[in-house]
A and B are shown apart, each in its own frame.
Chain A
Amino acid sequence: MASRRDKVLFAVFGVTVLGLLFPLFLLGWYLWQGSVVAEEQRLDELAQRLGKQTEWAIIDARDLLDELNALDATPCSTEHLNKLQDAAMSRPYIRAVGYWRAVERVCGAGFVQGDALTPPKASRIYDSGLVAWWPSPSTAVGGVELFLMRYGQHDIAIDPRLLVTPGLLEDQKVGLWVESMPMVTHPSAAILPDLHSFEPGLTVDRDAQRMVSRSSLGTIFPIDIIAVQPMAQFWQRYLPTLAGAGALGLLLIGMWLFLILRYFRHHLSLASELREAIAHDQLQVVFQPIVDLETGTCQGAEALARWRRENQETIGPDVFVPLAEDTGQGTNLTLAVLRCVLRELGPQLRARPDCPINLNITGQDLASTHFSEALERELEKARVPARAIKLEITERSLLNTDDVRARITALRARGHRIAIDDFGTGYSSLAYLESFELDTLKIDKTFADAIGHEAVTSNIISHIIIMARSLKLDVVAEGIESRHQVEWLRQQGVRFGQGYHFSRPITGPAFRDWCHDSEESK
C-alpha cells in the first residue's frame, strides 16, 4: 500500500518540478527571443535610416552635378561662382564644389586645398562618365577622408562623417559601405568587422561579447550597414523589461508552488487526521433501512460511515473512503465502522440476527486474511452471530481470483451473507457472478431513477431481476424515492428496497425505533 502512496508522492513531486522548470524555461526563452527580435528591429530601422540618408545625399550630389554642368553661365563668372557657393552652403555634407578644365581646378567654392582633390586612383568610373573616389588617405584633408564625385566639368567633395547623423546613434559603432566599399564609420576611428564576415540580420557574437547587426539597402545602389554594440549595452537596454517579466514569472511560479503545497498539506493532514479518527473510533455510523416492498417491514439496514473533522467540517465518504484506501487504512476503516455498528446496535443484533446490518467491505479487505480474522474477533467479543452482519462488496471490486472466491466461501461458511453492491454499473456477466457464492444483488440507484423515464434502462432492470432469480439471489433495489417506483418494482417481482421513500440514513437509536414502528404498523 505504501508503494502506491510513494508513487503518488513521486508523481506530484515530478509535476511540481516540471511545473516550475517549464514556465521558467519558457519565460526565459520567450524574453530572450523577444529582446533579440526587438533589438534586431531597432538596429535594422536605424540602419535603414542611415542608409536612406546616405543614398539621398549621394543622389542629391549627383543631381547637383548635372544641374551645374547644364548651367548656362560663363564659367567662373560671378553668377557661376554664386551658384557654386549656394550649392555648397545649402548642404552640410558638401565641403567643396569646383569647376575644372581637364585637370585644373579653375574656380570653385569651399575650403579644400592640396592634392586631396586629385587622388591618384578612382574607385569607380561609371559608363555615364561619373568618377567617384571613395574616402581614402589620398582624399584626406586635415585628417578627414573625403568622398569625391566628378561629372563633366564639376566636382563635389563630401565629408562622409556628416552623412551619418550622430544623434541617431547611441553607443553603437556603425560602419556604412556603399557598393561594398567602406564609406564612413562612426565614431570615425572605429574598427569594424569585415562586411562579409557576418550574415544579414542580427548575430550574437558571444566570443567577443557583442551583437553585430548587418542590414542592406539596395534601392538605387547597394548600401550595407554594420552596427556593433557590446552585449552589456543590450542587457542594459532590456534589463528593465527582463527584470519586470522575470518578477512576474517568479510570482506566477510562486503562486503555483503555493497551490501545490497547499493541496499537498491539506491532503496529507486529512490523511493523518483520518488515521487518528479511525484509530480512536471517532467515525459515526448511520443506518438506512432495507424494507420488504410487500409488507413494508424492516428487513435490516445498510451501515454508512460519516466523518466529522475536529473543525466540524463534514467529509463525504466519496472523499475519505478512497483516501483511507490510498493511505493503507481501508481495512481499519471497515473495522472501525463494524465496531461502531456493534456498539450502537449490539443488543438488537443479538436479539434479532434475522434483521442484519450490511457492512460495506472493499476489495482490499477480501484480499487479506487480516480482515476476516479481525471480523471474527470483533463479533465474538460482542457476542453477535455472523449472520447478523451482511457483507456488501461493490461489483467492481469483486476480483476474480481463487483467493477471493475461497475467502467468500469461508465467510459464508461462518454464517455471513454476501451482497453485491451497486450492481449494474460494472460489467459482470451471469457466468461471472455464478462463480461466486452470493446471496443478494443490490441494484444501483441509477436503475431506480430510470423507472418510468427510460425504456432501455427499464428493460435492463427486468433482465437483472430475471438473472437474479435464476441465480436464486435476493434482489434489493437501491435509491427508491417514490410510490410509483415501489409499485413497478413489486410487479417485476423485486422483494426488497432501500431509499428516501422509506427513510433517510438515521442514527442507531432512531433506526431501532423505526424498525419497531414498521413492525407495529404491519
Chain B
Amino acid sequence: MSTIFRRNSLAVIVATLLLTGCELMPTRDADTASEPSAEPSRERAADSDDGASQDQSYGYTRNGLYLARNDQDISERRQRLLDEGHESVATDRVGFYMDVLTARLRQDLANQGVELSREDRTITLTFAGDLAFETNSATIHPDMVPILDALGQVLEEYHASIITVAGHTDSAGARQFNQHLSEQRALSVAQHLHAKGIGDARIMAIGHGPDRPIADNDHGQGRALNRRVELRIEPLTAS
C-alpha cells in the first residue's frame, strides 16, 4: 500500500513539475535576455543553501567536502586515495563487487524514480533534478530524503568505492547561475551522504552546468531530463 501511495504521489509531482516547466519557459527565456534584474529568487535559493557566493572556490568546502573543478581533478584525487592506502577492492574481486553492489542498489532503490545503469566498473545513478530538488534550488526535496538515506546505508556497507556527485542543468538561464546551481545541488547530495556516514575522502562533487546535456534542450521534456544529478560509483582498486 505504501509503495503504491508513494508512486502515485511521485506521479502527481512529475505531472505538476512538467506543467510548471512549460509555463515557466517563456519567463525564463525573457530572463536570459534581461539577466541582471532577474536574479533575486535564484540568488536567494543559492545563498540559502550554504552561503557560497558565485565565485565558489574549488577544493575543500567549509563542510570538508571536496568540490572538483574538472575531470582531471577527479582522477588525480582518485589516485591520491589509492596512494593514501584507502581500503580498496582486490583486482580479481572487482567484478563480483560491482555485480553485488548493483543488485543491492536495485533491490533498495527499486521503483523509487532513480535510474540505475551499469557499465563494467561504473554504476551511475541518475536523479531527476525536478524530483530531487525544489525548483531553482539546491534544497533536497523531502520525498528524496529516504532514498538518499537508503543509498547512504548501502554505500557505507560497500566502502571500497568512491562516489562522484555531478550536477547538471539545462541550457536555459544564465550560464554562471546554472554552473553555480549544478555545483550546489551536487554538494547538497554529497553533504547528505556525508551526514549519513560516508567518509569525506570517498566523495566529491562537481558541477557541469549545462555542458553535458543528455537530451534536446529545445523542448521542455528534454530540458527536464537535462536537469539532473548523476551519482557515479566506482570501485577503489589498484588498476
Interface residues of A (CB under 8 A from B): 100-103, 115, 118-122, 125-131, 150-152
Contacts and interface: CB of A to CB of B under 8 A. Distances in A.
B95 interface: yes
Interface string B81-122: 000000001001111110111111011101000000010000
A125 B95 contact: no
A125 B103 contact: yes
Given A128-B107, A129-B107, A129-B110, A103 B102 contact: no
B158 interface: yes
Nearest to B154: A102
Nearest to A122: B99
Nearest to A128: B107
B134 interface: no
A131 B110 CA distance: 15
Interface in B47-93: 89, 92-93
Given A115-B92, A118-B93, A152-B107, A131 B157 contact: no
Contact of B100 (A126, A128, A131): A131
B92 A102 contact: no
Q: Which 10 A-B pairs have the closest CB atoms?
A: A129-B107, A120-B95, A122-B99, A118-B96, A131-B103, A129-B103, A129-B106, A102-B158, A102-B157, A125-B103
B106 A128 contact: yes
Interface residues of B, number: 22
B96 A103 contact: yes
B95 A121 contact: yes
Nearest to A119: B96
B235 to A, nearest CB: 10
Contact of A120 (B96, B110, B118): B96
Nearest to A130: B103
A82 B97 CA distance: 27
B92 A120 contact: yes
Contacts, number: 60
Given A115-B92, A120-B92, A103 B97 contact: yes
A325 to B, nearest CB: 98
Nearest to B104: A129
Interface in B148-196: 157-160
A65 to B, nearest CB: 11
Contacts of B97: 102-103
Nearest to B101: A102
7 contacts: A120-B92, A120-B93, A120-B94, A129-B104, A129-B110, A150-B103, A151-B107
Contacts of B158: 102-103
Contacts of A100: 100
B95 A103 contact: no
Chain A binding surface, main DSSP class: loop
A122 B94 CA distance: 12
B206 to A, nearest CB: 26
Contacts of A131: 99-100, 102-103
Given A128-B106, A129-B103, 17 more contacts: A102-B97, A102-B100, A103-B97, A115-B92, A120-B95, A121-B99, A125-B102, A125-B103, A125-B106, A126-B103, A126-B106, A127-B106, A129-B107, A131-B100, A131-B102, A131-B103, A150-B100
B117 to A, nearest CB: 12
Contacts of B104: 129, 152
A103 to B, nearest CB: 5
A130 B95 CA distance: 16
A121 B100 CA distance: 10
A102 B236 CA distance: 14
A120 B101 CA distance: 13
Contacts of A103: 89, 93, 96-97, 100, 158
A101 B99 contact: no
A150 B159 CA distance: 20
A121 B92 CA distance: 10
Contacts of A118: 93, 96
A127 B110 contact: yes
A150 B102 CA distance: 12
B198 to A, nearest CB: 14
A348 B104 CA distance: 130
Residue among B95, B99, B160 with the highest chain A CB neighbour number at 10 A: B99
Contacts of A129: 103-104, 106-108, 110
Contacts of B89: 103
B161 to A, nearest CB: 10
A366 B235 CA distance: 118
A77 to B, nearest CB: 19
A101 B157 contact: yes
Nearest to B120: A121
Nearest to B107: A129
Interface in B8-59: none
B102 A128 contact: no
Contacts of A119: 95-96
Nearest to B157: A102
A230 to B, nearest CB: 41
A74 to B, nearest CB: 17
Contacts of A115: 92
A167 to B, nearest CB: 36
Contacts of B108: 129
A217 B94 CA distance: 35
Contacts of A126: 103, 106
Nearest to A132: B103
